[in-house]
Amino acid sequence: MKIVFVSAELAPLVQSGGLGDAVSGLALALAARGHSIECVVPAYRMALESPACPALAPSGEIRIGLPNGELRGRWLVGTLAPGVSLRLVDLPSLYDRPGLYRDDGPDYDDNPLRFMALARAAAYLCEAEPPDVLVAHDWHAALAVATLRVVFARGASRRTATLQVVHNNAYQGRTAPDLYPLTGLPPGHYHPDGIEAWGSLCLLKAGIMYADRIVTVSPGYAREIQRTPAGEGLEGAYTFLSHRLVGITNGLDSERFDPAHDAAIPARFSAEAPAGKAACREDLLRALGLAATPPGRLVGAIGRLALQKGWDVLADAADFLVAGGASLVLLGDGDPVIEARLAAASERAPKRIAFRTGFDDALARRIYAGCDAIIVPSRFEPCGLVQLIAQRYGAVPVAHRVGGLADTIVEPRRGPRGLDFGRATGVLFSPLTVDALVAASQAVGALADAGGLPALQQRLLALDVSWRTPAKRWENLLREVVREVRERPGAKPPGAA
């Protein structure tokens, strides 16, 4: 199949978080299965300057009509990998800036226009060169779906299947209603069954209300967004469209994250040769100046210091974890209040808590490789990457039972003799409280005391957390939707008044 991806981010070219990894991981996995993938992303300054940017060549003009004029630019094309081509939307007035979404301050005021332009350019491309499938990633790309289904309802692209991927429903591209003319849609689509939400123009709804399928990045998240609070005001729309809603868990780039070949860690290890993990553990304790720690009690946490990620609860729990015998290795930046609290906890117990601010990829890998467990206390998590990396490196994920965390972790069974870890791939806890978090972490220590931790770690190292299985599920879904669209007679597009 010929598949067009539209996204604001694409690793390793340009990214600010997990979106870029997810988009590129899926693109590469589908290409490996024989499909042709074209990735449409903005020609950001940092993308053009990235060492990962391939050789580019101009390939045609871009013209986007606006109420008071037009945007004019060009396409830049190149090849990212076998089967994966790159098509950059080169509109310097919108994308030639230091940052993706902002500089050092608030978001750019014209972000709605910047991403409406991306989506409209992608839709015009699909009308000119119809693919089998258009996949729009998050709110930035969603208008491409509505444009195909409304503006080009009877055009060459009318049989292109459309899918809207919701990576994080908390970000919906809501903006002022008076920007509706910038969408390029005709009158009659700004209403609750179109792209209006609670008095705002909602760009994400331009995808979800018009797409042939809505895909979330885990089955659990697909269920959660149909109710509050995860629905973020769109739970009614998701419930109404539940027959189109599918959840497919993301995979992990298992070549990029591979403890058997990772040059950033002091010793390599695998399911077949797991001994190197113990060496990584000792190196981590020594490098961070931590005291000797009993097995099962060297606990890490990595990520953005934010309420959504639950780091406030982890900060509340730090002293209790230490009192229970744990040593903590914490890496992240973000909320200054949480950062100050973690720094204070580290000062109170410098031999038991190591806290490092910022993001250091090499240190993050050493934490995954050296820790017995990794805590993931997110309030909500559409899919999650941290728990997958932890499993890949033989660290037991201890996670809040939400979204993709619950989908990717098999928890121990409760039996008459306590927890049975026979098939477990981590520990889940709920509710998100200090007591529940501490108890879940201590379960790993208790397993170690009983001699069962090495078997669990070896099971984790043998897990397939790659894109192999998700790519098969995506391929089956894409074939199903393409078949439906081609068998469907021309009809009034969904969302039209």
Would you say residue 447 has pLDDT above 50?
yes
Radius of gyration of the chain (CA): 24
- The DSSP secondary structure of 54-86, one letter per residue, reads PP-EEEEEEEEEETTEEEEEEEEEEEEETTEEE
Q: What is the pLDDT of residue 17?
A: 79
The candidate with the shortest Cα–Cα distance to 159, out of 492, 496, 487, is 487
Q: What is the pLDDT of residue 488?
A: 84
Tokens linked to 382: 């559409």
Which amino acid does the sequence have at 180? Answer: Y
Would you say residue 496 has pLDDT above 90?
no
* Phi and psi, residue 189, nearest 5°: -120, 5
Question: Domain map of the chain by residue range?
Answer: 2-251+469-487, 276-462
256: CB partners within 8 A, 6+ apart: none
| Mean model confidence pLDDT for the chain | 95
Would you say residue 349 has pLDDT above 50?
yes
Would you say residue 1 has pLDDT above 90?
yes
Q: What is the pLDDT of residue 491?
A: 43
* CATH class of residue range 2-251+469-487: alpha beta
Q: What is the pLDDT of residue 490?
A: 64
Measure the CA–CA gap between 147 and 317, rounded to whole angstroms. 49
pLDDT digits (tens, 9 = 90+) for 359-401: 889 999 999 999 999 999 999 999 999 999 999 999 999 999 9
Measure the CA–CA gap between 13 and 42, rounded to whole angstroms. 11
pLDDT digits (tens, 9 = 90+) for 239-281: 999 999 999 999 999 999 999 999 999 999 999 999 999 999 9
With contact defined as beta carbons under 8 Å apart, do 398 and 375 qualify? yes
Calculate mean pLDDT across residues 291-304.
96
From first CA to last CA, the distance across the chain in angstroms is 33
| Fold: same for 2-251+469-487 and 276-462 | yes
- Planar angle of CA 212, 74, 158, nearest 5 degrees: 25
Would you say residue 497 has pLDDT above 50?
no
What pLDDT band is residue 492 in, cutting at 50, 70 and 90? very low
With contact defined as beta carbons under 8 Å apart, do 378 and 386 qualify? no
- The DSSP secondary structure of 381-437, one letter per residue, reads -SS-SHHHHHHHTTPEEEEES-HHHHHH-PPPEEETTEEE-TT-SSEEE-SSSHHHH
pLDDT digits (tens, 9 = 90+) for 227-250: 999 999 999 999 999 999 999 999
Q: Which CATH number fits domain 276-462: 3.40.190.290, 3.40.50.1000, 3.40.50.2000, 3.40.630.40?
A: 3.40.50.2000
Calculate mean pLDDT across residues 318-329.
98
Would you say residue 18 has pLDDT above 90?
no
Q: What is the pLDDT of residue 200?
A: 97
pLDDT cut 70: percent of the chain above it: 98
Calculate mean pLDDT across residues 213-232.
97
Can you tell me whether residue 33 is helix, strand or coil? coil
Would you say residue 493 has pLDDT above 60?
no
Calculate mean pLDDT across residues 423-449.
97
Q: What is the pLDDT of residue 494?
A: 47
pTM of the model: 0.92
What pLDDT band is residue 15 in, cutting at 50, 70 and 90? confident
Q: What is the pLDDT of residue 103?
A: 85
Least confident of 91-105, 311-325, 340-354: 91-105
pLDDT digits (tens, 9 = 90+) for 163-185: 999 999 999 999 999 999 999 99
